[in-house]
Structures are given as structure tokens and as C-alpha cells.
Structure 1
Amino acid sequence: MASKRFVDSNRDNAGDFIGVSAVTQSCEPCMKTNVSKTATVFCKDCDEYLCDTCKNPHTVYKPGQHNIVNVQDNTSAPVIIDMKGMDKCHEHAREIEFFCQDHYKLCCVSCVLIHRKCDQLDEIAKVSRQTRPDLQALKQSLIKMQSEADAMIADCKQSETGFNESIAKISAEVDTMKDRIIQLFEEAKQKLISEAIQFKTAKVKRIGNKCDASLKVKEELNNVLSMCCVVLERGTPSQQYIYSEQMKEKRKTIESTIDEQRKITFSSTMTVSFPKQVTSLLEMGSNSIKLNYDGNKTGILFHSYFTFGLILITVFVYAVTVHMIRSGMQFKRDILS
């Protein structure tokens, strides 16, 4: 059997062939039926690995003495490698025994019929001993590529971690800017309300004065009107004449007071106006902040979008601050005073 010959000729090299951790000792009778089953015992007399199922039939039905030992206790037995079908011909499902150098092809006995005229058709059992240096070099190159793959996997994980950290940082930066703007508006609102209350207090005082003056005029008019009605209804002509003459001057005084109070007008409406920077920012909406990334394909510089958004917000904050500190929020007051 070709695979058995291959194992026998490379018995001391089995650990180097696929790596110590990858070597498996399979039950040989099971392998003949294309079943991969781990061997648990080894028959030293028959030089054969067996599983628990095949152990009893082996000792009962196979002639001869059978020195059976556990696999872990056997240090001199050959290592049987399960090639996972790699030692089978893909075309004929038979064991590979030859290698055609002309076509660089592994061949079974059926393939040999096709390649029998080739100049160099080697029997693997004879040339396999020359393979070890090449296989060692292959092992080193595979280890190197494995190391590179590990490095790439680590780099991918680091990149993913970097993305997560970037998202968290972006969220924190935007939240910080948002909190600063909210705090700025809260401070502006308090200042605005304070100025509005001060303005209202001053105007309410003037309104109170006008109201008091109007109440006095009304009280005086009530008295004069009451007296006028009595004189008009019950007074003598002389009394009516005297009262009429005396009230002419009084009426002028009252009319003058009413005219003065009429000229004092008030508007209870107060409005607020915002700087252009604020309305411009609101017009931009969610586009006021853009994301920076290495693969930006929009033609904008790597940092331009987000930087522009931050600059715009900074200008807005500065403009609002200056506007509030220097002049306050502008009231539109339609008041004649």
C-alpha cells in the first residue's frame, strides 16, 4: 500500500511533516474503508494501529500473537497520518504512488497508463527520502505566512478597535460642543429674561403712574359731574351761571391732564432677533457637521468637512457671545415714550 510505504519510509519525520499538533494516529482497518477514526491501541506484532471497535476482531480473527499496547504507551510505533484524502487521486480515487515530472502531476496506478510514455515518472516510495529538505523549507515558509496572517488579523482587530474608539471620540466631541452651545443659550436666555424683566419693571412703573393719574382725573370728574348734575337739575339760574363759569377753567385743566396721559402710550410686545450666524447654522441643519475619514472620495480635503463644521460652530458661539455681552439680544420695541 503506497501510503503505508510512505509512512514506513518517513516514520521518523512524521512530526515534521505536518506539525506535531496536527499529527493524528488513525485506526488502519477503518482507513481501508475510508473511515477516519482515532486509534487507541497499537499491535506491536502486526505493526498496526487499532481503535476500540477493531481491537477485538483483530485479536480473535487474525492469526498470530498480538502484543497490544495503548497508543500513549507506545513510543516506537510508526505514526500513521490521516492525509484527509490528499493521498488519493482525484480522478480515480486510488492511492497516489507516482509523480510525473513532465506534467508536474501526482499519479495513481491508473494514471500511470496515461503517463507511461513520459520521460520522468518517479515512484514516490523511492524518491520520498529526498523530500525532507524541501518540506522543511515549505514548513518555514508556511510558518512565516502564518505569522504574517496573524499580524494581518491583529491589524484588522486593531483597526476595528480604532474605528470604535474614533466613533466614541467623535460622539464625545460633538456632545461637548452641543453642551457648550446649550450652556451658552441658557446663559443668554437668563440674561435675556433678566433684561426683559428690567425693561418690564421700568415700563410698568410708568404705566402705574399713568394709571394713578387717570384714576385721579376720573375721581375728580366724578365729583365735578355729580355737582354739575345737581346744579343743572336743582340750582337757580344764578347758581348755574356761577358754576358754569367756574368749571370752564377746571375743564381746561382736566382736558390738559387727559391729553398728557393720552400721549403716553405703551406696547406690551417684545420680540427677539438672532445673529445671521445662528440662522445660517440652522439652515444647514444636520449638514453643519461632516465626518473625516481616509477614504473620502468627495474631493474634499481630509479634514475640511468636520473642521468647517467646528469653525462654523465656533464662529456662531463667538458671534452670539459678543452679541449678548456687548449689546444683549435686540428688542424690537414699538413704544412711544
Structure 2
Amino acid sequence: MAESGSKKGEDDEVPGRVKDNMCQPCLDKDKQTVADKFCSTCNEFQCNECSNVHNMLAILKNHKLVSVKEAAASVSFKMKALDLCDEHQRSFEFFCEDEKKLCCSSCAIVNHRKCHSVVEIKKIAGKITSPSPTLGEKLKKAKEAAEIVAKHIRSSKDQLAEDIKEIHVKIRQMRDEVMRMFDDLEDSVNKRAETLQRETLENLTKKHAQNEKHLADVTSCLETIESIFKNGTPVQKYIAEHKMESNVNALCRNIKEECQNLETVNISFHFDETLKLPPLPITEYVPGQLLLKSNRQEDVNSVNMTMKVTPVSAIGLKKTEDDIDDPLYSGIDFLPDGRLMAVDNTNEKCLVYNEKLEKVGSYQLSYKPLSVVVVSEEEVAITSANIEFLHVSKCNEIRSSRTCKVKTKYDSICLKDDRQFVVGTYDEPRPVRIVSLTGEERDFDVNFPDKTYPIGSSASIYIKSSDKVVITDRYEHTVYIFDIKTDTKFVVKDDQIQQPCGAAVGPSDTILVCCPTTDTIVQISQTGQILSSYKLDMTYPFRVCVSRDKSFLVVTNNCVGNMKMQKFKISC
């Protein structure tokens, strides 16, 4: 079948050959059968088997069937709907010479009744014996253009295959060159690393010898003191104690200094951000940097960062006459002079408290505040639909200052520097952003968690001294500490950290986190070590803030019917 079809054009062109008329219904079924009859009503050739359907169906009995020979002179090929009107789906019977359009009977009556020359097609059809030269020329040009397109496509496919092969060749060549360069790099870096190791070991050996001497001196002093106090006279004991005191003090100072300066030495290699491959020996250009990094041993130094807190004062937060409901302090922060700013989300208020937690100022807002940060001695910023600025005078008078319109939904807020905030988001794909005091918003160049936090499920703070961002994840019971400079992070999970909510920067730039389900404040180092945990005399602690001099902290809770605010003195 396929072979016969492929040679059809060739067979048609053989001189003297008579072309057989094929049964059209059979051809529609991919079956080639020579036609025996022609139906002028169906306008198609049919074999005997297919034409018998005219005798079976009453609707077809009026069709006129003739033999193929009778129809050979007048039959037309199947028009494939070319002879049907697009609008009425009826056969074309007329031609409008005025508008040069084919018309069915409906078209002639409806659309061309005002035309002067609408003639029957069968009366003028005999005048056309061959396609018009214009139509044939157009088709010829179209065929030539199509052949050019086909040739171009074939050429493009061939060129594409060659390009792909060339890419493979180039990559293999580059791979071989890179491998040779990395072999040189490995030799060069290993030599430098061995040198650093030798120098570092020499330094550690010196420190070890010094420590051994101190240890021997301590042992000798202990033996001397024990001997004199065991066998000596009272006079000898008195003289020995006063004589050795200065030596013992100096020895203790030296050992304490060594203890505080303990270091963990790591050698690592980091490639440059963009690896360049210049036409130079790898030993002359190393695409990276060999770093000798020393980190203080935190297990020793963290003892000095552990926080102790002492209760100073506490107040109950009750509903007042002009309140809608029990207050919920969703944000608190210290003014530089020690006064406390608080925002009441439930009753849409901003309040000022003195150092004794006595309310000395109040201002009715027209929006629900979420968090507050002190910007300067007399200005605070509040997150809501936008960032609102208030002026707070020394006399505790509060007034609206300005509104900074933003596009992102912000909850927690803290200062990054004197021109920018670090703000925690909610219902946004970016958990933390930077906003200037004029409202310009941008992102950190850090891979934060790919997570959208609902409102109240996360808070963020910024540690200016080390350029770190802290994010609490309430329902994952996790605290994230991100180093902006190195794009690294610590993930803090611990049984003491349960539903972490509010956070603040504490003494020695440690991290303080409210944990509601355990009623505690947890202190965390910047490297994720739990330093201390303080049990609070309140249920469900919610927000925490620390004074500018790191000497006081205030905590508020979120417990309906038992709202409290407590102030603590910090000592280390």
C-alpha cells in the first residue's frame, strides 16, 4: 500500500496510461478498490459493495447511480468542502460578478440581491478550461518558497548536530585542561598547608611548654605550702603565706589569661566566588584563598556570658474604662532614658511607662499595631499595614509624625543602623527584609528558609556587632542564626526551646528568646549554644526587650485574664 501510494505521482505521468477511478468510501478507510459506479448526488465514485447502501436506505434511493464509463466525461473529483458556503454550508450555485464572490442560494438572496450581475455557475463554468495564470504563478512561487524553507530547516538541523558535537569536544578539552590545572593547584595548596601546619604546631608547642611550666610551678607551690603548714612553726607559716601571695597571684593571672585565650585552629581552603582560568600556570594564579582561621573556644568564654536576672517590679495589665478588651502588648522597647514604649494590639494604643513601670503616657492609634522599635530619643516606629512614626516627648506627650508606605506585610522590627530597619514578614515568601527609614525595601543576600510564616508564628532580630539575623520558628520549635557575611547559619533545636516567640539581643550580644510553653526566657550564644534558662513568674511569655545599656529587661505575656509585665535587673 505505502509503496503504491508513494509512486502514484510517477504512474500518473506515464503517457497513454488510463487512470482508474477508485472507490472513495474505500479510500477513506485506507483501502484501494476500483470504482464501478458514480453517484451524482453524493458526488463520488463507489464500488459495487459500497453503492449497494443506496438500495438499503430509503433516504438514498432517489440518488442517481451511473456506471463509471457514463460518468467519466462529466464527473468531478471530491471537493473536500471547497464547494460549500462557509456561512450556510450549502453548495455554491451562483457567482456575483460585481463583488467577485461565490454564492449559495441563501447568499444570493440575502447578501447579493442588490447586485446587478449574479449568474449561475454552471452557465459560466464552461469558459474556464485551465487555472488562471495569476493563480498558477502564485502557487509556483509559494512552492519555491516552501522548498527554500525546507532546505533551510534541513541545513539548520545539520548545523545544530555539528554544533552539539563541537560543544562536547570543547567541554572535553576544557575538562582535560582544568584537571591538569587542579593537579597543579593541589600540589601548590598542599605545600602551603603543610607550611601553615608546621608553623601552627610550633606555636602550639611553645604554648604547651609554657603551660607545662605553669603547671609545674603550681604543683611546686602547692607542695611547699602543704609542707610548711604541716611541719612549720606558726612564724614560718605566716612568713610563707605572705611571701608566696604575690607569686601565686601572678601565676593565677597567667593561667587565667591562657584559659581565656584558648583557640581552636582550623585550616580550610575556599575558592573564589568566580573561578577564572587564565593562561597562566596554576602556581602563579591560585583561584582561591588558603585561610588560617582561629576561633575562640566558646566552652570556656561562654561562662562569662551567662546571664543572671533579678526581679525588680511587676504589674498586672488590666482592661481600663476606655479599652475594648484585655490589653495585648504585641511590641515593647526601651527609650534611651530608660522609659518603656509599648503598643497594645487589642485596644490600638501606644503607651509610655517610667522606670517603675508606672504608666505616664498614652496615645490612641487608628490601626492595630504589631511591633515597635525606638528610632531615636524622641521617635519610635510601629509596624502595621505601613510603618508609622510617632514623636514621644520628654514630657510623655505622643503625636503622629509621619507614615512610611510599604508593599510587604511586616510584623517584628528592629534597627539595623541609623538609616535602616530589619523587619520580619508574615504571609510573604521572604521571612526577613531591610527597609530604610524612607520606605525603600530590599532583601538580604542570604538563603533564608524557603517558608512563609503566618502572622505571630515568627519574629526576627538583628545583631549589629556581628552582622547576624535571628529568626524564630514558633511551630518548628527552632531558632535560626544567620551570618550575613558568610551566608552560613546555625539551627538551634533543644528541649528548652518550645514555641519560641519574641526575641531580643541580650548582654554580650547573646540572644534572648521567649518560650511560652515552658514559661521561660532562654539565653543562646551566637553560635547556637544554650547558655541559660530562666523560669518566669508568668504564664505564656510573649515579648521581651532589653535596655540600651543591657542592664534591664522587660517581659510581657499573652494570657487572657492574667496579663502581666515584669522588669528584671541583668547581671553576669
For normalisation by structure 1, the TM-score amounts to: 0.40
Quick check: which one's strand share is greater? 2
For normalisation by structure 2, the TM-score amounts to: 0.26
Q: Report 1 or 2 for greater relative contact order, CA contacts < 8 Å, sequence distance ≥ 6.
A: 1
